[in-house]
Each structure stands twice: as C-alpha cells, then as structure tokens.
Amino acid sequence: MEIKIVENTKEVVCDVLVVGKFIDKQTSNALLNRFAPENFTGKKGETFSIHTQKEYPSTYILGIGLGEEQNLDNNVIRENIAKAVKKCIELKAKTIAFDIETDLACGISIVIGTSLANYHFDKYKTKKEHRIAEIYLSNVLPESIEYAKTVADAVKLARNLANEPAQFATPAKLAEIAQGLDGINTVVYDEAKIRELGMGAYLAVAQGSVQPPKFIHMKYIPENPKKRIAIIGKGLCFDSGGLDIKPASSMLTMRDDMSGAACVLGVMKALGKLRPNIEVHGIIAACENMPSGSSYKPGDIVTAKNGKTIEVDNTDAEGRLTLADALCYACELGVDEVIDIATLTGACMVALGNAASGIMGNDEDFVKNIIQTGAYVGEKYWEMPMWQEYRDNMDSDIADMKNTGTRYGGASAAGMFLKEFVTENVKWAHLDVAGTAFLDKPFKEFSKGATGVGVRTLLSHIIA
Ligand code: BES
Ligand code: MG
Ligand code: ZN
C-alpha cells in the first residue's frame, strides 16, 4: 500500500474520501453538510456512504463517526479508520483519501488502522482479496508516517509468518528470515551447539521432530546504548502436543504456536530500520513438538541451562521448556530487561478470551509500564497473579519441579515456572498471547487468523 502526503485531501481524485465526524460538534465541514444524510450523528462507529455522481473529485464520500471529540485517542481513530477501510473494500475502492478534522497527530493511527484492515492472508489463493492500493493524507509529519509504515510492516510480517502453514514456516525457515534482516546481526545455533550450551529442556521438546531445532539470536547493537533489552518469542513451529497428543480440534491452529517468535522477528526487522539507541537481542528457540519414536516422554527428567531439573509431567506443556532455556540464555547476556512473548496456555485464553493478553513479571513498575504502553497502542494486557501456591503445585518427587501443576490456574502456573529461569537482578515480563495471537473469526481491525499481537507494544516499549 502506497501512502501519499498531499496539500488537501479533499481535492484528490480518488475512489473514496473518508470524512470523520464528532457527535458533539457542529461540523463546519461543507462536505458533510452537503452529502451526509440527516440521521448521521457522528456516534462512534456509525458510517454512511454516498456516490457523489461526479459532483466531487472522489467517487464516494464515506462518513465515519468518531464519537465525542474529548474522548478521541489513538485507539478510537485506529479502530474506526479500520472500520471505514473495510467499508471502502466493500465498495471495491483502490484509492482512499482521509479528511479527519482533528488537532491530534492522527497520521500514525490512520496508517496503522488502514494497514491492519487491509490485511488478508491470501498468498495461497489463486483469486486474491480486494485491497486498497493507495491512501492520501494531509496535515501529517512525513517522519511519523515513515515510522507508522515501519510498524505496520512489522505487524504484517508477524501476521504472515504466524499464518504460514507449518510445512513452510519451519525452524530453519525462521532462521533464514532472521539472517536476512537488514541492520541486524544474527547467529543461529544448531542441535550440536544447543547441546553444548546445555539447553536440555529445549532439546527434549525438539527431539521428536524430523525438523531440526534452530536457536536464533538476532542482535541490534548501537554504539552507546541507553538500555539493553532481550525479547524472547516462543517458537513452536507446530505444537501437536507430542506424545500427550492434542485432540484434532485443538491441534488445528497450532501452526500459530510460533506467534511469539513471529512478533520478535517483526520487531527486529523494524529496529533495523528505526535504529534507536537501545540494544536489543531477539531470541527464538525454534522447534516442533511432535509424537514419534524419538519423542520425549511423560516422566522423563530434563536439565535446563541453569542446572535445574524438570520432570516432564505433560509433553504438551512444551513452550515453557523451550522458554526456560531461552530465558537462561537471555539473562546470561547481562541485559537490563527481558520480555518473553508466548502462546503459552489455553488457560490464559479461557480467562481473558481474545480481548486481552495475560502479563506477569518480577517488577511491579515494569509490568505496569508495559500494560500502559499496550493500552496506548491498542493492545490490552491483564496482570495475572504470581503466587507461591501455583508454584507449590509443580513440586516433583524426583526432580526440582514438574512442568505442569493442577488443571486450574494454568496461566499463573506457567508464569511461576518461567520465573525459575530468570535471574533476580533482571527485570522480566512474560506476555501470554494464547488468546490474542490468532482469531477464529474477524475481531475489531483484524481478519480471521494471525493478529501480530505484541509487535506494537514491544516496539513502543523499546523506542519510548
Ligand atoms: N500452545 C499451547 C497453548 C495454546 C492453547 C495456545 C490454545 C494457543 C491456543 C501450549 O503449548 C499448551 O499446549 N498448553 C497446555 C498446557 C497444559 C498441558 C498444562 C494447555 O494450555 O492446555
Ligand atoms: Mg503444548
Ligand atoms: Zn505450545
């Protein structure tokens, strides 16, 4: 999608001119006075469209309600722009101009809203979905539009990777993509090296698959960084459950179990362009969880990189085993902050649905800060408790811990498990995106499938 900045969007010859209206403001916009029907009030999400019959440079005028002006924020703009764009797509528009009367710097939200709504995973369809090809904006800063484009592209990469079938999006493929990122230095460790590094928990998960594991470490290292951060993405290219195999209906979408990794790849790609003065390490312990003669088994005991032993209680609780070793590795880098993002537990999905991701961590202010950043960019997080009770359920008779506790409270249990592999002097947050990474039906700005959740939060957190 091309973005053009023009003097006055009202004069652009295009398919649709999108015009915003506030419910509580008498509009001075001559266009609305001329084209809007009587009953168009400007209530949030309300729309109308009208063919201009050649009385105007645009073929259609599409009005979008933005609610009360004082309540306008990024989220209102992005969500409603996305709604308007979907209407434009229904009208088979190719080119859209935006006329949103506000002092708020809304260019970023318009670009991101449009890009999110314009996304379809139709790579494998011979007949492609209709898409918006060009948008026109005025009263925007070129730098902020460039930033928005970079963020939107990062989200798109994350969505494409998580939507991609597991037959193609293999650990080796993720490694190849990581190695091709501009401005990023990537090292990839294969099985022998992973063993040498002592990542016994991760290797156990990987050992049932014919796809070899790839430990991916992407580095963005500026000269005198203000801060050093590691971001870790769960990279289960497919999670069948292993020998504790999932029922068919639960396995169906498990190509999305690398959504955390996809997010980290998107973020690193954007960082290579944005080049902030922050050191960032993107880490992915990529593998598949498969049943086979070489699979790890319930009752096995594995040793993580920090020497802690784990009894495998359930081979389907594999993500935390791969993350355990990745967390140890990240902490050994001596960074100030570690954030992991993972489609970790069905329990988190049950608790929060697709409205919000779960968040846990070892530093109250750090967690609060990420929640606030998420709220600002339109990704919701809800803090789940980290109480000792959840950890007690994972005591093992024969090892330091088991990889699962009781059936209930699973999101918190997983968080307590991960905490065992985080060094205390490092600020750590864990984002459980099991419910938000992949949609079974369209929701808000998103079509069915991958959402690219986390990319906007992590980028904002890093850049801020
Ligand atoms: N990848 C799943 C979690 C998941 C479930 C992600 C639904 C997205 C949608 C994870 O590896 C898993 O299988 N977790 C188990 C843990 C259980 C065995 C303790 C779960 O949530 O059922
Ligand atoms: Mg699993
Ligand atoms: Zn999984």
Reported as a single tens digit per residue, the pLDDT across 71-90 is: 999 999 999 999 999 999 99
- Strand, coil or helix: what is 402? strand
Q: Are 331 and 423 in contact (CB under 8 A)?
A: yes
Structure tokens at 218: 């992407």
Q: Are 359 and 454 in contact (CB under 8 A)?
A: no
Does residue 159 have an active-site annotation? no
Structure tokens at 268: 């690193």
pLDDT category of residue 41 using cuts at 50, 70 and 90: very high
First to last CA, the chain: 27
Beta-strand ranges (E) seen in 90-129 are 95-99
Q: Kindly give the pairing relationship between strand 214-220 and strand 185-189.
A: antiparallel
The pLDDT of residue 101 is 75
Structure tokens at 455: 């990319």
Lowest mean pLDDT among 27-41, 338-352, 407-421: 27-41
Amino acid making up residue 230: A
pLDDT category of residue 103 using cuts at 50, 70 and 90: low
Region 220-231 average pLDDT:
98
**Does ligand 1 lie within 6 Å of residue 409's CB atom?**
no
Instruction: Determine the Cα–Cα distance for residues 164 and 124; give it in Å rounded to an integer.
Output: 10
Region 114-136 average pLDDT:
97
Domain boundaries, the chain: 2-138, 151-463
Lowest mean pLDDT among 64-73, 286-295, 450-459: 64-73
Reported as a single tens digit per residue, the pLDDT across 132-153 is: 999 999 999 999 999 999 999 9
pLDDT category of residue 104 using cuts at 50, 70 and 90: low
**Does ligand 1 lie within 6 Å of residue 239's CB atom?**
yes
Instruction: Check 4, 25, 94, 246 and give the catalytic one.
Output: 246
Q: Are 420 and 309 in contact (CB under 8 A)?
A: no
Q: Measured in angstroms, how far is the CA atom of residue 245 from the centroid of ligand 3?
A: 11
pLDDT category of residue 25 using cuts at 50, 70 and 90: confident
Nearest ligand to the C-alpha of residue 250? 1
Say if residue 102's pLDDT is above 90: no
Class of domain 151-463: alpha beta
Region 354-364 average pLDDT:
98
**Does ligand 1 lie within 6 Å of residue 349's CB atom?**
yes
The pLDDT of residue 444 is 96
Region 292-306 average pLDDT:
98
> What percentage of residues in the chain have a pLDDT greater than 90?
96
**Does ligand 1 lie within 6 Å of residue 298's CB atom?**
no
Does residue 34 have an active-site annotation? no
The pLDDT of residue 105 is 67
Reported as a single tens digit per residue, the pLDDT across 398-423 is: 999 999 998 899 999 999 999 999 99
Lowest mean pLDDT among 98-107, 178-187, 219-228, 326-335: 98-107
Q: Per CATH, the architecture of 2-138 is what?
A: 3-Layer(aba) Sandwich (3.40)
pLDDT category of residue 186 using cuts at 50, 70 and 90: very high
**Does ligand 1 lie within 6 Å of residue 410's CB atom?**
yes
Q: Measured in angstroms, how far is the CA atom of residue 224 from the centroid of ligand 3?
A: 37
Instruction: Check 87, 305, 320, 419 and give the catalytic one.
Output: 320
Reported as a single tens digit per residue, the pLDDT across 307-337 is: 999 999 999 999 999 999 999 999 999 999 9
The pLDDT of residue 28 is 65
The pLDDT of residue 408 is 96
The pLDDT of residue 30 is 85
What residue's CA is closest to ligand 1, atom 5?
346
Report the candidate in 208, 211, 216, 113 with the shortest Cα–Cα distance to residue 155. 113
Instruction: Determine the Cα–Cα distance for residues 104 and 253; give it in Å rounded to an integer.
Output: 39
The pLDDT of residue 24 is 83
Say if residue 19's pLDDT is above 90: yes
The pLDDT of residue 196 is 98
State how far Cα 64 lies from the chain centre.
Answer: 27
